[in-house]
Chains A and B, each alone.
Chain A
């Protein structure tokens, strides 16, 4: 069944209709309508999957998707247009540009924690770039995945964008087939398998993985505000966010204060009993519930720690003085447990971070911009936010992606389009002007080599229309300003030739 769907998608792509910009716009509009017309159904599905609150759904997923679609609709014609590049002396009379092209059939494997955003955002990029896409939502968010399978064919082209649901075996079957790009969001262990499968067909991949995103709190910053922001980022979606602050690093002297601020903020956000708060989520399934509970074993939390297996509920939990080699500090937590690890100072924190794999995000809370910049300079991560958490996700001009074990490739906004396109170098010369070429033909000698060297050495020139227009405008304005300045100086010097003119002007007023 998977094979047939992929075959149909390829045939539909080869028909050429996905390439037309009007078609892409039409599909993007369709996707937007799907999101706006079915908000209630999507919210219900998410409530059943992960107990997402009715407000968190639009806030965390749907608004973001709408934003991306709107941006793509506005910009797709611009993004898909040929992009001129700088020339050199050899190519000065040629057409030199990069033409973005669709890749073909893209496989999008979504994740369960934000089943709509993480599946549809890559789809927006795939459609905008003119590809066909096979969408494979995660089976763990079952209701969302079934709803997506029902809805998508009603709004988008059935053949070009099929939805394939299923578990591990269906995914493995899909990965045996040939695609032109595979876009995977999920864990590193499965990411390796995806890349190995893609290697067999020489298919490029984008892997949005995870890791333990550290959160450093400097002792000299506004701890209350820092803790508010961290609390929000950590416990949203019950900690099941790839860019959630995984653990806190701070000096022992402020640990108590941090715990207090977290406690107060949790009270404000979720009330005395988060179980009753409509805004607090649940763990996706029993396996993950048991996994997260297992991480807590042997530790006494300073906040929270309560749980209810029947609801897969784990209270927002904070643990302090966590040793660096404990179980909690091995794998990505992906749950509502927030360990605090003590470090002696910022240098110690930098060392701690660098001893471990590069995370997907690094968070630094510090009032001293220079110190924060030093920390950025001396570490590496997919992205970094100073004095907040997760907000880099909302700015589509920033490329979103990991590095090292946290992933490869990036997306959001134009980056999605570029990631799922082939940037084809085009050089259109003419069959004339053969003199320029003479030096390259055999027989080779030093004189010819010298001529070629000179031609290749020339600086790169930006011959794009925009630069030309800007150059002309700037010249005209400068000339105009120069003339105006001259006139003013002449008048100030009180020259008779201009005085009567201005007196007349003044009398008029």
Chain B
């Protein structure tokens, strides 16, 4: 039994009675503990946030082995692969947050107008409260903990719900994270669909979801019931256009890397290739060469080539291959959930493989007559999470940018925009809403509160807004509201005038000495 003594918004009654906590589910308890802990104000001071962030960093460095082990069992990824794709980025985010936190959390002064020229005007970032972070299974650590970095930096409490599909990582997170972070403020809640649904019934101050669009809709609908804002990092089919006049072997190297990393299970992987028929065979050849270079003749035995997460996805991917011409690879082993790096050529737009996000090591090539048809093809479909274009022609690149839309655009490489923390990472349309990384994550999980601090003097000035109204008063109001004054410029000119005055004074004195 717990005595809460707070105001219940649903029943409009002041609850001084006790709540029967035995009847509350595990999820409800975790959320309630996190909220109470947040309300004590513990997570607000910067020192506390820095302490938690540094502990998180220690967790990643000290438990490197455990994390790599878990990822190997979940996705077949090598230890070095885990470091490169999961923990390195995470470390970078934490270090950036630690370095910049004081700057991000400080009041941000804004431009004033004539009416507020003597007032203090600024935007104050504040924590939102309790954030729900629902992670994904493809990069179980990066995609679950990077939003956590933003949540901690912004001063929130956070419920972490890792994906049950990456079961080993989720178990390790549940066991080890509480040894480094505050147990009440940042609880890890594991479980499947029903636990997630139970969580989504609770009230949060923000929900951060990474995963598929179908579940994204359910998450947003659940959040709507409490008027909770959401960040949805979804997916889509990220097109990759190769211009016939570019360095095709270099382009294919980068595409091969981007596609087959994590066995194609990356939300920003190039989903399919668009190119002219004349270069299709060259593209196939180059990719074949790169696959051999990266993953050896037999990727199945190669340490740095991963596996499909589970049987369900394995079967789904095998189904997508049906009816298409395999140009490279195509081999598989159900017992290991292994699918070889595969390229499909002459794929049609109506084929199964073009109906949903592939999320696997199948790379279809669709031929288009040129960049016009490519742009048309892209615009006929939902806005993707990222658009890739390989070309030496800057004008062509700019044209594609102007005539299409996507979460992000990357020219002449794959995936690396994820590592530039100054770039906002997120989707648009069906590929998601909201963004994060670096300062954007901090802003996303903060409330940027407008603050205007005036004085109680100069009341005569306000008379123009008070009734009884007259035309003359209105004239003054119009003047003060409409006259746009660049206060910054005025200040600089005043400073310049003062300096000039000082200089004149100094020169004059100097002349007197002489």
Smallest distance from the beta carbon of A210 to chain B beta carbons, Å? 12
Main secondary structure on B side of the interface with A: mixed
- Which residues from 426 to 462 on chain B have a C-beta closer than 8 Å to any C-beta of chain A? 428-430, 432-435, 447-457, 459, 462
Q: Mask for B211-248, Cβ within 8 A of A = 1, else 0?
A: 00100110011011101010010100000000000110
Main secondary structure on A side of the interface with B: mixed
Q: With an 8 A cutoff between CB atoms, is B193 at the interface?
A: no
In the bound assembly, the distance between CA atoms of A310 and B331 in angstroms comes to 82
Chain A CB within 10 Å, residue with most, of B234, B247, B407, B449 = B449
* Chain A contacts for B485, CB-based, 8 A: none
- Which residues from 407 to 435 on chain A have a C-beta closer than 8 Å to any C-beta of chain B? 407-410, 422-432, 434
Q: With an 8 A cutoff between CB atoms, is A226 at the interface?
A: yes
Contact status B224-A192, CB under 8 Å: yes
Q: With an 8 A cutoff between CB atoms, is B113 at the interface?
A: yes
Chain A CB within 10 Å, residue with most, of B83, B126, B216, B224 = B224
Contact status A225-B456, CB under 8 Å: yes
Contact of B409 among A66, A380, A424 (CB under 8 A): A424
Smallest CB-CB separation from A331: which chain B residue? B12
In the bound assembly, the distance between CA atoms of A195 and B207 in angstroms comes to 14
In the bound assembly, the distance between CA atoms of A399 and B112 in angstroms comes to 13
Contact status B227-A386, CB under 8 Å: no
Q: With an 8 A cutoff between CB atoms, is B124 at the interface?
A: yes
Smallest CB-CB separation from A365: which chain B residue? B456
Q: Mask for A223-261, Cβ within 8 A of B = 1, else 0?
A: 001101100100000000000000000000000000000
Q: With an 8 A cutoff between CB atoms, is A166 at the interface?
A: no
* Chain A contacts for B84, CB-based, 8 A: 440, 444, 449, 452
Contact status A228-B408, CB under 8 Å: no
Q: With an 8 A cutoff between CB atoms, is B339 at the interface?
A: no
Contact status A398-B452, CB under 8 Å: yes
Contact status A427-B116, CB under 8 Å: no
Known: A103-B428, A394-B481, A427-B423. A228 touches B459 (CB 8 A): yes
* Chain A contacts for B78, CB-based, 8 A: 444
How many B residues touch the partner, as a band? 35 or more
Contact status A460-B447, CB under 8 Å: no
In the bound assembly, the distance between CA atoms of A232 and B477 in angstroms comes to 15
* Chain A contacts for B468, CB-based, 8 A: 269-271, 277-279
Contact status B304-A443, CB under 8 Å: yes
Q: With an 8 A cutoff between CB atoms, is A87 at the interface?
A: yes
Contact status B14-A325, CB under 8 Å: yes
Report the stretch among A91-99, A141-149, A334-342 that lies at the interface: A91-99
Q: How many residues of A contact B (CB 8 A)?
A: 123
In the bound assembly, the distance between CA atoms of A495 and B225 in angstroms comes to 82
Contact status A399-B123, CB under 8 Å: yes
Smallest distance from the beta carbon of A380 to chain B beta carbons, Å? 6
Smallest distance from the beta carbon of B364 to chain A beta carbons, Å? 22
Contact status B92-A426, CB under 8 Å: no
Smallest distance from the beta carbon of B340 to chain A beta carbons, Å? 15
Q: With an 8 A cutoff between CB atoms, is B187 at the interface?
A: no
Smallest CB-CB separation from A88: which chain B residue? B420
Contact status B449-A91, CB under 8 Å: no
In the bound assembly, the distance between CA atoms of A222 and B435 in angstroms comes to 45
6 other A-B residue contacts (CB within 8 Å) besides A96-B420, A395-B115, A425-B417 = A228-B466, A229-B462, A356-B9, A425-B423, A427-B420, A431-B247
Interface pairs (13), CB distance under 8 Å: A16-B403, A88-B421, A192-B224, A199-B224, A202-B216, A380-B447, A424-B407, A424-B428, A427-B409, A427-B417, A431-B250, A460-B96, A460-B421
